[in-house]
Each structure stands twice: as C-alpha cells, then as structure tokens.
Structure 1
Amino acid sequence: MSELVTLQTYLGTWAGSDAARKAVAETVTAIAEAGIGIAELVARGPLEEGLARIRGTDPNAGGDAQKELDVVAEERIRAALLPTPAAFLASEESEELIPLNPRGRLVVAVDPLDGSSNIDTNVSVGTIYSILPYDPAVHADPVSAVMRPGVNQVAAGFLAYGPATILVATFGEGTQVFVHDRRSGDFVLARAAVEIPVETKEYGVNQSNARQWHAPMRRYVEDCLAGKEGPRGKDFNMRWVGSMVADAFRIFTRGGVYVYPGDKRKGYENGRLRLIYEANPVAFLVEQANGGATDGTTRILDITPHHIHQRIPLVFGSKAEVEKIASYY
C-alpha cells in the first residue's frame, strides 16, 4: 500500500525553501483548518440553534440573503487568517476589505459559505477561496490588488462539506483533491492531477428559468434536449444541485458542464455568481484540470473586475462543451 500524502506534506514539497510559496502554503493551511470547524457546524445542522436563520432584513454585500452561518463562517476564516501572511480578506459577506496582517503580502478573497441557502435541505455547501499577491508599494489601495484578472491568482480552491469534507486545490500546477480523514485529522491526497474529460453528455443548469433566458442559451438547451434525433446527435443527462461547490465537484469527478447564464429578470442580467469570490477561483481550478471556463464567450481569467462584488455569467467544465456553448452566441 502506497504511503498517504497529507496536505502538509504536499505543501511542504511544493513550497520548498521559496518564501513566497511558503506564505501561500501557510495561508491555505489556515483556510483548510478553518474549514474543518465550519464543516462541524454544518454537520450539526438544526442542533446549532439559529445558524440557519436569515440574519435581519438587509442582504449581504453581494446582494443575497445572509444567514447566521454565513457570518460565523466568515469569522472563522478571518480568525484563522490573522496569524498568516495574508494582509487583507475580501469576503462576499462584507462590503469592505477586512484588514489582517499589516506585514502580509497576500490578499485572500472568499465566499465563506457557498450554497448556504440550501443548508436547511442538507445539501452539500462549501467555502471557496482565491489567493492573490499583494505589494503595498504597488497597490497603494489594497482593493486594487483584488481588482485584477483571475490569471493573477497564485492559488485557489474550495472546501465541500458533504458526506466527506473535500478540499479541491490548485497552486498553478494542476488540480488536486484532498479528503479530510476524521481519524487522523489530516487532509489526505485522494486524487492528484485531476483531469476533466474533454467531451461530455451531461449539463447542469436551472431549467426552470428557461423562459427568462436569452436566445443562445435557449437554443443550446433545446438542442441538448433533442438528443440523438437533434443536431447534437447524442442524448444528454441534466444534473443540477443548486450549490455550486456540489455541482463543481461532480464535474471534477466525472465531467460535465455547469451553466449559470444571465437572463431577463431584474438583478439577473449578469447571472448571480461573483467574479472575484466564485468564478475566478473555480475557473483557475477548472483550467488546471484541462477544462474551460467562460462567461459564455470570454475566458473568465482574462476579465478585469470593475467592482469588488461584480456578478458574471458562468460556464465551466468539459472543454469541448464550453466551446460548443460559446458557438451559440
């Protein structure tokens, strides 16, 4: 039996004696450790009284209803990052950047609890993170360190809190999957150098919104539904959880394509997912796993944000299918 590789072993090998890499490794370790605590809270479900309750009447900084668990998750991550080389935390739950280590040289962007609207139904939820370099001599305004195209990320990943607690991570050298071993307390490498199949017969989209879609998306899904008899010449399955980390992990496991388009509804013109907190880190992970990620036509990692909480349509997964969707526009 081959020796198990823990997250700490993997990070130590990857970082070596490089100071910048060591800083990233320390930051990812802190996020992973915070995730273990968040997973425990999520697992207790309704036993943790009030955590699934909507917090007040005002939405969070991203415009979504905010639950108590969103706030607790953000606080867990903030506390874990305080002693790390992270200078600031950008969070979907907060309007402004949160200061951390004044000597830090990294900025972390995070969705503390993606899919929290599903928490009452016991669906997998998760934490998504993105790490960018920060140099105060270059970025006089720390926000400018975050407002850069996703190609500038040095690491990204997400934790999925489901039957197992999973960490999907990239440091720009492939995408790796780690599983939290509850016996040892370690994250253990389960799949190295993940590759998303190029072709697929599976797509994920909330089809209840079809009447609101623009013509290219309607045509794409109609052609999928037509199956072997239609222009695609093959039958498709549709899968949709509604929690992006769960849908994403399925794609890393068996391929497929995830689609969250903009539509005609007020507030949905650019979809509902955030470029900085969700689209960029997932796009980095997907591309490192031989997949593709666009806003329908443009590569996600090439897009310059114009607002810290900017929303964007998102298509990601099997590369050939992502390219096929772009051909409809």
Structure 2
Amino acid sequence: MKSLVLAGAALAGSANAFLPGLRPLHLRAQRSLSPPSQDASVSSTALEMADTAYGASHTSFYTSAKAKDSYESLADVLNSKVADPDVRTVINEMLDAAVKITEALRVNLVTVADAQNSVFGDVQLGVDVIADNLMWETAKNSKVVRQAASEEEPVLVDTNPDGRFTVCWDPLDGSSIVDNNWAVGTMIGIWDKTTGMLGATGRDQVTSIVVLYGPRTTALVACDDGVYEFTCGEGNKWFASREKIQIKPTSKIFSPANLRAAQDLEGYDGLIKHWMNNRYTLRYTGGLVPDVYQCFTKEMGVFSNPTSPKAPAKLRVAFEVAPFGLLVEKAGGSTSDGVTGKSVLDIQIDGVDQRTSACMGSKDEVSRFNEMVLGK
C-alpha cells in the first residue's frame, strides 16, 4: 500500500467518522471563510482589547499541524525509515498491542484489581492488569522478542531463545489519573541482544515507542532518521501524522513534577518562580506520558522531576526515562539525569527497578534546570 489516501469516498462510513486532524471535503471548503493573513494585526488588536476588558490572557499554544490530502501508512514509513527488518517487526507488534489496549480502555471500568501483584507496592487497577497481559501476550508470541520485563514485574523473563530483542514496558502509565478519564500511556524500550538491557544504557536502545491514549490514540516511534508520530485511524490502521519532529531549543511551556522537592531544594523553588514570573504556560497532568508527549506536539516544553531526601526518585530508568529520553534527544531536545546534569541516556541500567530523577525537553530549559537546580 503506497499511502493511506484520505478522500471523500473513503470517509463514507459515517457522517462524523473521519480521521483525526483531517477535515472531510465539505468542511475543508470552509477554509476560504477564514480571515486573510493581512488582517492579523486587526485580530491581535481585538484580542488585546478583549484582554483589557475581561482580564483574559491568550497564553495557550495550539497545534501548528495542517491537514493534508493524504498521509503515509505505518508500513510505508517503516519500510523507508527503518532499515532493520527485525526492528520493523517489533515496532509493528508493539503497536498492534497498543490497538488492543485502546479497545480495552474503551470498554472496561476503572476499578481496583482483584489480585494485587505489583512487587513495588503500587495499587493495581483492572485496566493495568489487562494492559500488562496484552503486552505479555504480544511478547511471548513474538519471534523477535528474546526477553521481556514489565514495570509490574522486577525480573527479565525469557520469552523466545531464538529471539533478538529485550523489550521493557510500562503497560499503563497514569493509574492515578485514569479514573478521571485523563490521558494515559504505554512506554516501551527495546534493546538488542548484543547489549541486553541490564548493564546497558538508554543510548543502546534500537528504538523506543511511547503511546498516548486520549481522545485519539497516537504513538511516537524512534526511526532511523528521527521521531515520527503515528495516529490510530479508521479500522485501527496507523498512519504518519507527524514526521521528523523537532523540539525547539526555547520554550514557554513548563511541566513541573515532584513539587514537594521544591520545599527542600532552593534551586527548584527558584526555577519554578522563574517560569511563573516570566509568564510561562503551565501544562501538567501528573501523567508522565502526556506531560512529556506535549514537547513533541507543541514542539517545545520542559518536564522536570528532581528529587530530594524527603521526595525520592520515582521514575524508572528502563521503563520510562530511557524510552522517552531516546525520543526527546532524537527530536533535537535535551535531557538531564537530575544529578550530574548528563544525559539520561548515559545512565547505566544495573537493576530492573532502578530509579532516577530527570529533566527533559527544550535544550535551553534543560540547561536552565542544570544551572539552577544542580549548579552545573
């Protein structure tokens, strides 16, 4: 299939059933009703008058993505942007599992699981268990997955002696916010058997994937030449909705996690005040996936999660920080381990449950974090 062509005939199934981000032909025609670009100064003046009259501020950052007539399919992109056929296979398998998780989230209530099997003491929900089981089913049935580990289990499990990859995942990040019906996600790190995961670093990953479940299901994938976003569309078919994403070095969006640490760390308290005093836009949900994912959709942002003795590290290197770190740096962003100021991709993974502090996103903001919080 050369490309996923989206035209009026392909959208005939339902009057409202069209792929996210693409208007049907009869709506696209309405673009001519938009104000011409030369009137931008008038619009700006009108907004300023409204601000003065109502005390409103226009600090939101909306998408810059524009609808196209056609989008490349997942297969087309992987065939041209991922040289290794085994890596293409494992990416496809993981995204197939994400489709199943998407369907499970839509039909299952958010309730506490009957059996609590998390060795880390986290409260497991029924949807956590379902998502984890779907990931394990995929890993165990794969011909290319050699070993696997879930955030819910602290050990590597041999799945196929003839396989090639070690796959580690957080099946459903955001358990504390999923009952609000907020966005949650799956994070996946993939290492070759030549390095394995234990003793390796995040830089050794052959690819990583982060899936976001919200009004739409989208996925960030580390390809050979950069980061691509895929959207799960009609018929659960993936298509490329963003290509070679670049995170800008500067940002006006901040996402500060572990605010308790600001009571102990003068530098973190000062950094948060800097963002507020300089009128940055706060975008924080408490879910790692949506809070970092926005750096790719907005093409800027910073997520910070330092630690202190009274607010220890919670982020897991193998399941969360390494997969996201690879994507952020491939997209031109920067990361910090929150201790030395070096990249999170240089952290040697010595334990499945190894934790770390972290900061990632726009380069200038990560540098500011290193300077103000770490004194680097």
TM band (smaller chain): 0.7 to 0.9
Which residue number in structure 2 is paired with residue 274 of structure 1? 316
- For the 8 Å contact 1:147–1:308, the answer to whether it is kept is no
- For the 8 Å contact 2:232–2:238, the answer to whether it is kept is yes
Which has the higher mean CA deviation after the structures are superposed, 277-286 or 72-81? 72-81
Q: How does 1:85-124 map to 2 (within 5 A)?
A: 85-124=144-183
- For the 8 Å contact 2:81–2:224, the answer to whether it is kept is no
- For the 8 Å contact 1:91–1:111, the answer to whether it is kept is yes
- Whether 1:78 and 2:136 are equivalent positions in the alignment is yes
Residue 285 of structure 1 aligns to a residue in which SS? helix
Q: How does 1:297-312 map to 2 (within 5 A)?
A: 297-312=341-356
Deviations 1:22-70 (A, max 9, x none): 11111111110111111111122xxx25x53155566x24442222222
- Whether 1:40 and 2:91 are equivalent positions in the alignment is no
Which residue number in structure 2 is paired with residue 231 of structure 1? none
- For the 8 Å contact 1:55–1:65, the answer to whether it is kept is no
- For the 8 Å contact 2:82–2:224, the answer to whether it is kept is no
Residue 154 of structure 1 aligns to a residue in which SS? strand
- Whether 1:224 and 2:269 are equivalent positions in the alignment is no
Deviations 1:275-312 (A, max 9, x none): 11000010100001110111221210011123211111
Q: List structure 1 runs of 4+ shifted beyond 4 angstroms.
A: 54-58
Aligned-pair RMSD on alpha carbons?
1.9
CA distance in 1, matches of 2:320, 2:207: 13
- For the 8 Å contact 2:328–2:334, the answer to whether it is kept is yes
- For the 8 Å contact 1:107–1:146, the answer to whether it is kept is no
- For the 8 Å contact 1:115–1:243, the answer to whether it is kept is yes
Change (3 A) 1:207 1:154: closer
Change (3 A) 1:241 1:128: same
Change (3 A) 1:263 1:52: farther
- For the 8 Å contact 2:337–2:357, the answer to whether it is kept is yes
- Whether 1:30 and 2:93 are equivalent positions in the alignment is yes
Deviations 1:76-134 (A, max 9, x none): 01212222301011110112112222100111011111112211100111110011000
Give 1:149 deviation, angstroms. Answer: 1.0
Gaps of 5+ in 1: 228-233
Which residue number in structure 2 is paired with residue 260 of structure 1? 305
Change (3 A) 1:64 1:13: same
CA distance in 2, matches of 1:71, 1:63: 14
CA distance in 2, matches of 1:84, 1:105: 8
One of 216, 219, 231 as aligned partner of 1:164: 216
- For the 8 Å contact 1:175–1:288, the answer to whether it is kept is yes
- Whether 1:286 and 2:328 are equivalent positions in the alignment is yes
Gaps of 5+ in 2: 1-67
Give 1:7 deviation, angstroms. Answer: 1.0
In structure 2, give the amino acid aligned to 1:307: G
Q: State the identity %.
A: 26
In structure 1, give the amino acid aligned to 2:132: E
- Whether 1:132 and 2:183 are equivalent positions in the alignment is no
- Whether 1:244 and 2:288 are equivalent positions in the alignment is yes
- Whether 1:318 and 2:318 are equivalent positions in the alignment is no
Change (3 A) 1:119 1:151: same
- For the 8 Å contact 1:132–1:146, the answer to whether it is kept is no
Greater C-alpha Rg: 2
Deviations 1:248-298 (A, max 9, x none): 221111111001111232xx42x2110110000101000011101112212
Calculate the TM-score normalised by the size of structure 1: 0.86
Change (3 A) 1:222 1:210: farther
- For the 8 Å contact 2:250–2:363, the answer to whether it is kept is yes
Which residue number in structure 1 is paired with residue 75 of structure 2? 8
In structure 1, give the amino acid aligned to 2:171: P
Residue 264 of structure 1 aligns to a residue in which SS? coil
Residue 320 of structure 1 aligns to a residue in which SS? helix
Give 1:15 deviation, angstroms. Answer: 4.0
Q: Across the two proteins, how many residue pairs are aligned to each other?
A: 302
Give 1:198 deviation, angstroms. Answer: 0.8
